[in-house]
Amino acid sequence: MPVEYDEPSGTVVLRTEATCYVLRVDRAVLHVHWGAHLPLEDAVGLPVRSEPDNSFAGPFDGVEEYPVEGGARFGVPALEVRFADGQSPVEPEVTGVRVVGAGHVVVSLRDRVRPLTWETHYRVPPDGDVLERWTEFEHTGTSGPLLLVRHAAAHWPLPRRQRWRMSAVHGGWSDEHRLARTELAVGETTLTSRRGHTGHQANPWVALDTGGADEEHGEVWATALAASGSWRLTVQRTAAGEVGVILGEGHEGAEIALAPGRRHVTPVSVAVHSPGGFGAVSRAFHTYVRRHVLPYPGESRPVLYNSWEATGFETSEEGQLRLARRAADLGVELFVVDDGWFGTRDDDRSGLGDWTPHPGRFPRGLRPLADEVHRLGMAFGLWVEPEMTNPDSELFRRHPEYVLHLPDRTATELRHQLVLDFSRHEVTEWAYGRLRRMVAEHTVDFLKWDFNRSFTEAGARGGGPDARRVHIEHARGVHRVLDRLRAEFPRLRIESCAGGGGRTDLGMLARTDQVWTSDNTDAVQRLAIQHGFSQVYPARVMSAWVTDSPNPLTGRRVPLAFRFHSAMAGVLGIGGDLDRWTPAELAEAARLIGLYKDIRPLVQHGHQYRLLAPGDGALTAVQYVGPDAGQTVVLLWRPGAWFGPAHPPLRLRGLDTGARYRDEDTGEEWSGATLMGFGLPLPCLPDGDCASALVRLRQVA
């Protein structure tokens, strides 16, 4: 049973396949256990952590499931309220516990005097190891709004341990998802985005272990937030040894005014515990995303071609048709026209918001190009940036009021553009109407939805108590537009992009099909970016391109095979100028695209094992295993030249120890026990920098 509830003791046990989570509901909602499975009769008898022995400590600090600001509580609050009279303390009272269906528990609370109720929801999705939590608030009064100053989705208390280490990602534009593991300091460690979108600098997830976990061993606890706007995640470690993680939308100052009778529902926070190291936690997240988040989880993502690096803004019908024919000859399945196809878009200074074909570049419109792309056997896609406008655009001249800006402040332009305020109904109605006409008129199968600058001067016109709510509501407006588009056009597929990986989160993945991982297409640097990305997000959504050499961003020269092998670790795309590729390169590309299609079911739907991390040695390696362990593929890279001793055999994971596996290229055979115990003998890599290999193994007995 995913949920067991002992009503006399108030003990609730939530079970996933590998772990259980125990709380106790009495005068307060207190945490008991999160870790290995326990029988209910033992959970009922477990003590809650001991009461403090001095008047400077709070009795609920670190043990309350959803801490509030009020009473003898001195830790980070999940809920902080400013009532109509300016008072803030909350005095919670439990009003009920109910089990909803097989795996869903709701604990209801209210303030003892003030007009506020809230429900904390716990849910165990089937067939996995993830727990979900969220919170719903309601103003039960009849006059005056109250202000939700902090409104977290969840607080996840962790067990007491002597030592803690924190894993998270950091970075910037073209340097996203850089994994770092550091000792957790006593105090409050906060990760956040104040930018109005998920951000390149951090991502809304964190993993914690006691310092000894590795890829396949050791207890790890991890949690993530399904929010696409500004967000805040705080890990608190007290001097008394209590540790917990609080996650929520917004940041300091991003408050929500709740009018009488109104409700506010937080995004979902998901969490995983595993004794099987960071790899097991990642695979649990990957399974959850594939089964419970993605709109079409069973689909395989197509091989795409994107024209940006070939043409820049110099798009034309003739040039795109030529590239489309070359792409089709390679075996590409989706052709995407990037920036420059619309309005007066001759550079990045004009045209955003004018989503009609450029009259000089596409005098016949886009339909002839779309028809030819479809005739060639490919789907047709367009780049769009619906949340932005240039001051030099017809949209801005007609509707300057649509822009996210305060009238008495100077508008800050970044990349010569301004942000449209998607927290406003009239703006999202305009965006939806324009997008639906564009998709219908041009028979568009795919949108690359971009977002190329962060918020500035973000506030509600006319002010008000929650003037900065736009940091939350803009992203929710984007979600609503995406939901409507997908409902009207079930065949439409969408890629989330924000200058690369600046809007990668579970909230966007519930409405899109893949993520543009980074604007950095350097095949070597991508290995570290993809390594960090894979900690939470599966290869099934990780878009990766093969581009030209030398790389347009870094100038690095990389062999074509290495570029392909790097991109084949996710959703393969081609982004180079095919007009400049030699016949030999085109032939090799066609061969490797065919090879990718062969391994695609494993990469996009199999279990991922990070065998050798980037930077830990001369080699980097990742393995994908089919659900029944009948097939596996290994991608291996050596970014630099190597003159030391030979690398030891590569010990594989996830195979059937009693079965035999044949290398589909060499014909050599080994048992699963040998491949996991002794290891796979490494293939011979070419000399010099940037050598790589791909090994396919299939079960034969």
Q: Does 175 participate in catalysis according to the annotation?
A: no
Q: Of the listed 175, 505, 519, 522, which one is catalytic?
A: 519
Q: Cβ(468)–Cβ(459) under 8 Å?
A: yes
Per the annotation, does 684 bind a ligand?
Answer: no
Any idea which residue has 């609730």 for tokens? 12
Q: According to the annotation, is 355 in a ligand binding site?
A: no
| DSSP conformation letters of 306-352 | E-HHHHTT---HHHHHHHHHHHHHHT--EEEE-SSSBTT-SSTTB-T
Angstrom distance (rounded) from CA 236 to CA 7: 31
Alpha carbon 510 to its chain's center = 10
∠ CA(684), CA(539), CA(290), 5° rounding? 145
Show the CA angle centred on residue 511, arms to residues 510 and 515, nearest 5°: 90
Identify the three-state secondary structure at position 535.
Answer: coil
Q: What DSSP string describes 457-490?
A: S---TT--TTTTTHHHHHHHHHHHHHHHHHHH-T
Say if residue 209 carries a ligand binding annotation. no
Cis peptide before 550 (omega within 30 of 0): yes
Task: Flag whether 164 is marked binding.
Answer: no
User: Is 203 annotated to bind ligand?
Assistant: no
450 is catalytic: yes
> How far is 489 from 511, CA to CA, in rounded Å?
13
Q: How many CB atoms lie within 10 A of CB 10?
A: 18
Nearest to 281 by CA among 243, 226, 235, 224: 224
Give residue 91's identity as a one-letter amino acid code: E
Residue 572's contacts (CB-CB under 8 Å, 6 or more residues apart) are 303, 304, 544, 546, 564, 593, 596, 600
Instruction: State the Cα angle at 637 between 636 and 639, rounded to 5°.
Output: 170
Residue 61 marked ligand-binding: no
φ/ψ of 681, rounded to 5, equals: -60, 130
Residue 665 counted as an annotated binding residue? no
Number of other CB atoms surrounding residue 36 within 10 Å: 11
Strands 388-389 and 691-699: unpaired
Q: What's the DSSP call for residue 578?
A: G
3-state secondary structure of 178: strand
Task: Give the active site residue among 129, 450, 522, 548.
Answer: 450
**In 10 A of CB 54, how many CB atoms?**
5
Paired tokens of 133: 């939590």
The answer to whether the annotation marks 449 as part of a ligand binding site is yes
421 is in an annotated binding site: no
Cα gap 82→639, rounded to integer Å: 55
Distances (CA, A) of 391 to 397, 398, 413, 416: 7, 11, 9, 8
390 marked as binding residue: no
Tell me the three state secondary structure of residue 253.
coil
DSSP strand pairing (334-337 vs 304-306): parallel
Residue 450, annotated as binding a ligand:
yes
Active site residues: 450, 519
Task: Point out the annotated binding site.
Answer: 173, 338-339, 415, 448-452, 497, 519
Task: Point out the annotated binding site for substrate.
Answer: 173, 338-339, 415, 448-452, 497, 519
